[in-house]
A and B are shown apart, each in its own frame.
Chain A
Amino acid sequence: MGYKFSKEEMASIFSKLAEDYDVFAPVVKKGDGTFSDVDVVRYDKVSSLDEIEFEKKSDYSFKEALLPINETIFYFTEDETTVPKGPAKERLVFLRACDLNAVKRLDQIYLKNGFEDFYYKRTREMTKFVLMGCKESCTSGFCVSMGTNTTDEYDLYLKLDGDNAYVEAKDEKLAEAFKSGNEEAVSPDFVSENPTKVTLPKNITPETMKSELFKEYGNRCINCGRCNFVCPTCTCFTMQDIFYKDNEKNGERRRVWASCQVDGYTEIAGGHGFRSDNADRMRFKVMHKIHDFEKRFGYHMCVGCGRCDDVCPEYISYSNLVNRLGKECE
């Protein structure tokens, strides 16, 4: 059911919701960008509607609301371990269609990949999603090419339009909060075309893996890992055991985001690494997004949000690489 409100009414309903839920949404962090006097849009906990950035695409994806960058798995003393408590409150996560499609990929890896991840599951079960529509396409995204421009997996759709606000509440409990509004048919804004279009390679063979393109782009890569860290579908983590300095018999084990482009990712005991060459790392990343994942789960991993292209300091365009690879495979 859809409802219409004034923006003020919506702001006050939202503030009440934010008391019951932990709300995670894209926020403009003033001056926190890479360079001086440059902002960054990333996720944070918010308590009022006006904190949320509805216009600009977030530089970093929503995934940190489900998968903290650093997550303590357990604390250990000499003879026992303690698992930290999960989220105390239910959480609302604001995101766009591409990102909501990415949630399906995260679920695939953490819940439907042979076992259920305890930590992901307990947060995921407490999470509801609020869809932010896209009135216009962003320039770098290619969600239409990836079929991720639409979704019906949201619990709530929320749109601000001038002095008005519109919601569509699919979740019954959430709908309670909006019943005071004027009923009106509301349907999400989805884009049907992007300026960036990607054609995935059709005939990937073992030969494709040897493409010179991986060398070309690999040579330009500086192994910073930004493409992985902003990606809503990258799920890799590493483990870190921390021994507290005051008493090294106690400590904690954390899982921490990892990047297949950063040194150390494939390092094993003895110092051997499986993909020390940048071209191999580039191939691994690209093929995982457009081939390997699909082979295993039947749909592609990449949701075409375009964040990796936006963030790369070396102007490596993943979307262009894939298009060029597609031409090579014809």
Chain B
Amino acid sequence: MSLDINTKKAKKNAWRITKERGIGASRIRVPGGYCDAEVLGMVQEIAQTYGNGYVHLTTRQGFEIEGIHLEDMEEVNKKLQPIIEKVGINQNGEDKDKGYSASGTRNVSACIGNNVCPFANYNTSNLARRIDKEIFPNDLHFKVACTGCSNDCAKVRMHDFGIIGQTMPQYDPMRCVSCNACVKGCQSLSVGALRLENYKIVRDTEKCIGCGVCVTKCPTRAWTRSEKKYYKLTIMGRTGKKNPRLGKDWLIWADEDNIVKIIKNTYAFVEEYISPNAPARKEHIGYIIDRVGFEKFKEYALKDVELMPETIMNNTVYWDGIHFDNQH
């Protein structure tokens, strides 16, 4: 009997229809790329029982279990249930034992963050999981990523929304011994925003990107992190065939709650202005903004958003990147 499979439905159920007829792959997103090692055993079991024994670690921090016969989809979906619960995928209640709704909005990825990394300014996985809960499941094509510091190991500038951890360095001159470790560290690892004047540090607040290198270099705790955690929000970076480009800074020294709000607000903007011709309702948000204008985007994104006084908002954002779509 020939296979009779609703591929559209399967794709929205986190399945890939592969190039090999009759064979699919089960995609499991791991929000923030952080999971209990127990999950690995569960993935292994599915891969060895139903798949070809191989797993691809996806570019967005998930597992893709290869070589599964499409007629086993239902059974595999049941096996996915404990994994879905363990990694904290925001599953619709009625989807229990039936996999999870996916496609469109992509896994919120994260660098390893301050669980481990000395440079990171916040717990990236926790924020990724918080955002996951807020925006999933959703069909619209959104890419969000969290990175602990301006090193941007998570490459968040290639995302619609990139969240970069910042700290507002706090300086106690009476603990400073003028050792210059922060000045040297900022110069060699960051932007060179510090200088010594009268044996004390002067921080160029215009230049400082809040990376926190000074804090990690300080041997006396003259430099410490701000109690409040700050974030830089870069927007509308993308890869792709037409005009790949890096996301640009929109908000600097912003707070977590408002960033989550802005991401959620943007869904309404996309609903309103997405091209009717977008294939499977997939259009990078940046192209929509290019079409309808940044002011319109701001109108939607900033709904009910009250930024902190210290947050800097760039009123206009200009992108560049490589244009393959309108070269003459």
Contact = CB atoms under 8 A, between A and B. Distances in A.
Contacts of A60: 220-221
Nearest to A265: B179
A57 interface: no
A68 to B, nearest CB: 7
Contacts of A257: 177, 220
A115 to B, nearest CB: 24
B177 A259 contact: yes
A201 interface: no
Contact of A258 (B120, B177, B227): B177
B181 A224 contact: yes
A256 B177 contact: yes
Contacts of B180: 263
18 contacts: A34-B118, A34-B215, A36-B120, A36-B122, A36-B167, A37-B122, A69-B176, A224-B181, A224-B217, A226-B219, A229-B219, A229-B220, A240-B199, A256-B178, A257-B177, A259-B219, A262-B179, A262-B181
A31 B224 contact: yes
A159 interface: no
Interface string A250-268: 0000101111001100000
Kindly state the interface size class of chain B when it binds its partner.
20 to 34
Interface string A57-73: 00010000000111000
Contacts of B218: 34
B121 interface: yes
Interface string B119-130: 011110000000
A289 to B, nearest CB: 18
Interface in A85-138: none
A259 B221 CA distance: 15
Nearest to B199: A240
Contacts of B217: 224
Given A30-B227, A263-B180, 16 more contacts: A29-B224, A32-B225, A36-B120, A36-B122, A36-B165, A36-B167, A37-B114, A37-B123, A69-B176, A69-B177, A70-B176, A240-B178, A257-B220, A259-B177, A259-B179, A259-B219
Contacts of B176: 69-70
Contact of B198 (A37, A225, A245, A262): A245
- Of all A-B residue pairs in the complex, the 8 with the closest CB atoms, nearest first, are A36-B114, A32-B224, A226-B219, A240-B199, A224-B219, A257-B177, A262-B179, A242-B198
A10 to B, nearest CB: 29
A42 interface: yes
Kindly state the interface size class of chain A when it binds its partner.
20 to 34
Contacts of A33: 221
A21 interface: no
Contacts of A293: none
A242 B197 CA distance: 9
Interface string A274-306: 000000000000000000000000000000000
B323 interface: no
A190 interface: no
Contacts of A35: 114, 118, 216
Nearest to A35: B118
Contacts of A254: 199
Which DSSP category, helix, strand, loop or mixed, fits chain B's interface? loop
B179 A243 contact: no
Interface in A130-172: none
A42 B122 contact: no
A36 B219 contact: no
A225 B219 contact: yes
B150 to A, nearest CB: 14
A292 B216 CA distance: 33
B82 interface: no
A213 interface: no
Contact of A242 (B165, B199, B219, B221): B199
Given A229-B220, A257-B220, A36 B198 contact: no
Contact of B199 (A31, A40, A224, A256): A256
A57 to B, nearest CB: 16
Nearest to B148: A36
B173 interface: yes
Contacts of A226: 219
A39 to B, nearest CB: 11
A68 B179 contact: no
B56 interface: no
Contact of A68 (B174, B224, B227): B174
B24 interface: no
Interface string B157-191: 00000000101000001111111110000000000
Contacts of A37: 114, 122-123
Given A31-B227, A36-B167, A69 B220 contact: yes
A263 B179 CA distance: 8
A30 B226 CA distance: 11
Given A35-B216, A70-B173, A242-B198, A42 B179 contact: no
Contact of A36 (B121, B220, B221): B121
A201 B173 CA distance: 40
Count chain B CB atoms within 10 A of each CB in A35, A68, A258 and give the residue with the most. Answer: A35
B177 A34 contact: no
A40 B123 CA distance: 19
Contact of B221 (A32, A70, A224, A245): A32
